[in-house]
Amino acid sequence: MSSAEVIAYPLLFLAVFFESFLLVTFLSRPARESRGIRSLQATPRVAIIVPCWNEETTLAGTVESLLALDYPATQLSLILVNDGSTDATPTVVDRYASHPQITALHKENGGKYTAMNLGLAHAHDAEFVGFLDADSYVAPDALKEIIAAFSVPDVMAVTASMSIHEPRTFIQRMQYAEYTFAIMLRHILSSLNGLYVTPGPFSFYRREVFTKLGLFKHAYLAEDMEMAMRIQRAGHQIGNAMRARVYTKGPPTFPKLIKQRVRWTTGFLRNLLFEYRDLIGARHNRVLGSFVLPLAIVAIGGGILLFVVSGIDLIQQGWHAYTLAQVAPLSYAFAWRPFSWFYLPITMIILLGSVVITTTLTWMYLGKNLSRTPGRLVPNVVFYLALYWFVAPIWLIRSLSDVARGVATPWR
């Protein structure tokens, strides 16, 4: 057995186990009920805060999508916070300053969390407060779906279903498929209160969360994860509104994607390991403490290890094949050989890997359809399968290295 196989077998078993857990939980009553249509009993006062820094090209679209929300205008206010932008963002913000639903604020640049906190200070009359990144857009019915998900009293935060807005590049298409899987993951894990992040695009909180648990922190540039972990530590629930659709601009290039994911992954690792280590193994939330968080760490470590060992293995095999091909004329290496079932490369790893990939693709299909996310999945899945296996380990390796060396992660 090669060293790659030694690592691959337990990881594959864990992957099969995780996928099976997702399936069982998907079919369990809490997930089934959360997929049901919830009717909105009331329309409480809601404030949506849009922190923005140099978002001149996307901000107007974000605001327009919020103004188009199917929600009583008297109950909905928008707070735009310009966090010391150096482009034309302040002009775009001021253009909306006279709108009756909008509060326009400007401040010195201090980081996203400071902009969010300033917005919170102006949202004192709202029962629910939501946030939307200034490069994201919402579907008209998204807010009603979100507010309906707060019908469970102990749910302190609700996340939406994110997808990539108009994917164009290979990297964005890959992310489109990835996000449809994340939609399912968030839906299923939220049914057992297993979420550890309330993403920037359209996550909502009961206003009392901030009076009880405090305002946003720098949190290693992952204030959304830190707040979610704080809510979980306090023993509350984080829900999910599967049909609340929000579309976000995915990084279009490989370097930008790596930068974003390194920020996310280092933010997760630093918050969890340095600030919220007690959540691992926490008895009050065993789903998160004994399953989700340990598996997330194993996935990072195992993913890196498998990538490195398989990479070395692949290079060695490639070199071996190359040296063999040098021995005889190249035409012999590529000569046609009659097909025989005998030589079909069917191994345990290939079969188990196929099971995991097929299940993941099924989740993507379900995620897209159950959330009613627009777009075409199949062509984007092709990019996902072609790119993800070697793109993801790169940001994982970089993140682990940054955390181990104590390197600060920049926002952009």
Partner 1 sequence: MSLFTRNLLIALGISIVLVGTVALAITYLNNTRLENISTIADQIAIDTLSLDTQFSLLETAPCESATSSATLISSLTDLGNRLAYTENQLGSDNSQVVRLKQQYSLLEIRDYLITKQLAAACKTKPVTVLYFYSNAGDCSDCDKAGYALSYLRKTYPSIRVYSFDYNLDLGALKTLIGISKVKDTFPAFIINGTHYYGFTTLEDLEKQFPKGALSTTTQNK
What is the binding site for partner 1 (CB under 8 A)?
13, 16-18, 20-21, 23-25, 28-30, 192, 286-287, 291, 320, 323-324, 327-329, 332, 335, 342-343, 346-348, 351-352, 355
Q: Determine the Cα–Cα distance for residues 49 and 102; give it in Å rounded to an integer.
A: 10
CA 190 to chain CA centroid, Å, is 13
Least Å from the CB of residue 6 to partner 1: 14
Based on CB atoms, which residue is closest to partner 1, 314 or 324?
324
Least Å from the CB of residue 13 to partner 1: 6
Q: Determine the Cα–Cα distance for residues 352 and 125; give it in Å rounded to an integer.
A: 54
Distances (CA, A) of 240 to 22, 24, 27, 111, 159: 15, 18, 16, 27, 5
392, 210 contact by CB (below 8 A): no
Based on CB atoms, which residue is closest to partner 1, 274 or 319?
319
Least Å from the CB of residue 192 to partner 1: 6
Please name which of 92, 82, 85 lies closest in space to residue 50, comparing C-alpha atoms: 82
Least Å from the CB of residue 341 to partner 1: 9
Based on CB atoms, which residue is closest to partner 1, 35 or 99?
35
Strand order in the sheet with 155-164: 102-107, 76-83, 46-52, 128-131, 203-206, 155-164, 237-248, 136-138
Least Å from the CB of residue 157 to partner 1: 20
Based on CB atoms, which residue is closest to partner 1, 334 or 408?
334
Distances (CA, A) of 239 to 159, 201, 204, 351, 371: 6, 15, 10, 35, 15
89, 56 contact by CB (below 8 A): yes
CA 46 to chain CA centroid, Å, is 24
Q: Determine the Cα–Cα distance for residues 229 and 347; give it in Å rounded to an integer.
A: 41
Least Å from the CB of residue 411 to partner 1: 36
Q: Determine the Cα–Cα distance for residues 126 and 112; give it in Å rounded to an integer.
A: 21
Buried b (16+ CB within 10 A) or exposed e, 30-54: ebeebeeebebeeeebbbbbbbbbb
Least Å from the CB of residue 86 to partner 1: 48
Q: Is 321 exposed, middle or buried (0-12, 13-18, 19+ CB in 10 A)?
A: exposed
Least Å from the CB of residue 325 to partner 1: 9
